[in-house]
A = this chain, B = another copy of it.
Amino acid sequence: MFFWFRFDRDLRWRTGVQLLPVHSDSSNNFKITVAAMEEAYNNAAAENIRVKGVLITNPSNPLGTILDRETLIDLVTFVNSKNIHLVCDEIYAATVFTQPDFVSVAEVIDEIECNTALIHIVYSLSKDLGLPGFRVGIVYSYNDAVMNCARKMSSFGLVSTQTQRLVAGLLSDDEFVNRYIFESADRLALRHQQFTSGLAQVGIGCLESNSGLFLWMDLHKMLKDQTFESEMELWRVIVNEVKLNVSPGQSFHSAEPGWFRVCFANMDDEVMEVALRRIRTFVAKSAQADLAAKKRRSWQNKLNKLSFKSRILDDVAMSPGSPMPHSPMLRAQN
């Protein structure tokens, strides 16, 4: 079973395991519900697919939200009732930058009755400490069979001694780690605020979030139709013309078209400003184009034989009065 995120490559492609998304949408802020889990489970059973476990990211990728204690209890209770596994990817645990605080599934299973052998936590230094290249990952499982297997496989993925030395030194320095995590959270909070208010200026909303290195941006009003084809069409325009690489919701198996994941953390302030400006320009341009198209349709009704329709969009985008700034975009493209 599968919620969001691009586990496709890591799991499906490597192992042949099937990943089934659990439905969630904006009506309840993309919360995971027991009803949706039961539905996904029953749908799988109806197709003779044996569900072996639930896989979540907490904080969520791509949502940037944390799972509250109640949802975690629901998840643990659900996997217990089905006797299936719960794999919690807590790789963004220390990116929570505003209240409420992060709750690990490890805390929840201390508080409720549960077969802990069904619970597995994965973690890494790549996000919280910004060290993806160090290739330091952690499996924390309450299951002896999993640990025995991991022990047998571990020597094929050992962390090199020089990396171990550096990481050991770094993690032993409590003061540094604490300062780093706090400073990182402060900067994430600031950047998040800058980005969401920059988007709000042109009427773009985002899912309210308090963690992660990304935003879940709502562009559904810009879709021609409320379909994933239109989402893909919009994505192509954003990549090819706006020159921004945001991820369309469907790549995370979103059930609702029009949402895009925007990474806001892995860039400096100048690049962020360029990106924000591009998005705002694009939205404003689209609004103008919409207006122009409406006018055009109205004119076409009146002047049915005149043929200047295809020039209007170009005119809007390329005119000297266009709000689309050319040079900084080209510069930042490289």
Binding site for B on A (CB under 8 A): 10, 13-14, 133-136, 152-153, 155-163, 166
User: What are 18 A-to-B residue pairs whose CB atoms are below 8 Å?
Assistant: A10-B155, A13-B152, A14-B153, A133-B160, A133-B161, A133-B162, A134-B160, A134-B162, A135-B159, A135-B161, A136-B160, A156-B157, A159-B160, A160-B160, A162-B162, A162-B163, A162-B166, A163-B163
Contact partners of A133 in chain B: CB under 8 A: 160-162
Contact partners of A159 in chain B: CB under 8 A: 135, 160
When the two chains form their complex, are residues B152 and A14 in contact, meaning their CB atoms are under 8 A apart? yes
Contact partners of A13 in chain B: CB under 8 A: 152
Compute how far the CA of A156 lies from the CA of B10 in the bound complex, rounded to whole angstroms.
10
When the two chains form their complex, are residues A157 and B160 in contact, meaning their CB atoms are under 8 A apart? no
A12 shortest CB reach to chain B, Å: 11
Compute how far the CA of A166 lies from the CA of B155 in the bound complex, rounded to whole angstroms.
21
Contact partners of A10 in chain B: CB under 8 A: 155
Contact partners of A135 in chain B: CB under 8 A: 158-161
Compute how far the CA of A153 lies from the CA of B11 in the bound complex, rounded to whole angstroms.
11
A320 shortest CB reach to chain B, Å: 46
Contact partners of A163 in chain B: CB under 8 A: 160, 162-163
Supply 6 further A-B pairs (C-beta < 8 A) apart from A13-B152, A133-B160, A156-B157.
Answer: A135-B159, A135-B161, A160-B160, A160-B163, A162-B162, A163-B163
Contact partners of A155 in chain B: CB under 8 A: 10
Contact partners of A162 in chain B: CB under 8 A: 133-134, 162-163, 166
In the complex, which residue of chain B has the Cβ closest to the Cβ of A163? B160
Compute how far the CA of A152 lies from the CA of B17 in the bound complex, rounded to whole angstroms.
13
In the complex, which residue of chain B has the Cβ closest to the Cβ of A159? B160
Compute how far the CA of A153 lies from the CA of B153 in the bound complex, rounded to whole angstroms.
12
Compute how far the CA of A136 lies from the CA of B135 in the bound complex, rounded to whole angstroms.
13
Compute how far the CA of A13 lies from the CA of B10 in the bound complex, rounded to whole angstroms.
26
In the complex, which residue of chain B has the Cβ closest to the Cβ of A157? B157
Compute how far the CA of A133 lies from the CA of B133 in the bound complex, rounded to whole angstroms.
17
A131 shortest CB reach to chain B, Å: 9
Contact partners of A166 in chain B: CB under 8 A: 162
In the complex, which residue of chain B has the Cβ closest to the Cβ of A149? B14
A120 shortest CB reach to chain B, Å: 16
Contact partners of A156 in chain B: CB under 8 A: 156-157
Contact partners of A161 in chain B: CB under 8 A: 133-135
Question: Closest 9 A-B residue pairs measured CB to CB?
Answer: A133-B161, A157-B157, A160-B163, A14-B152, A135-B160, A134-B160, A156-B157, A135-B158, A160-B160
Compute how far the CA of A161 lies from the CA of B132 in the bound complex, rounded to whole angstroms.
9
Compute how far the CA of A135 lies from the CA of B164 in the bound complex, rounded to whole angstroms.
12
Contact partners of A153 in chain B: CB under 8 A: 14
In the complex, which residue of chain B has the Cβ closest to the Cβ of A161? B133
A77 shortest CB reach to chain B, Å: 31
Most B CB within 10 A of own CB, among A134, A136, A158, A162? A162
A107 shortest CB reach to chain B, Å: 28
Compute how far the CA of A152 lies from the CA of B9 in the bound complex, rounded to whole angstroms.
9
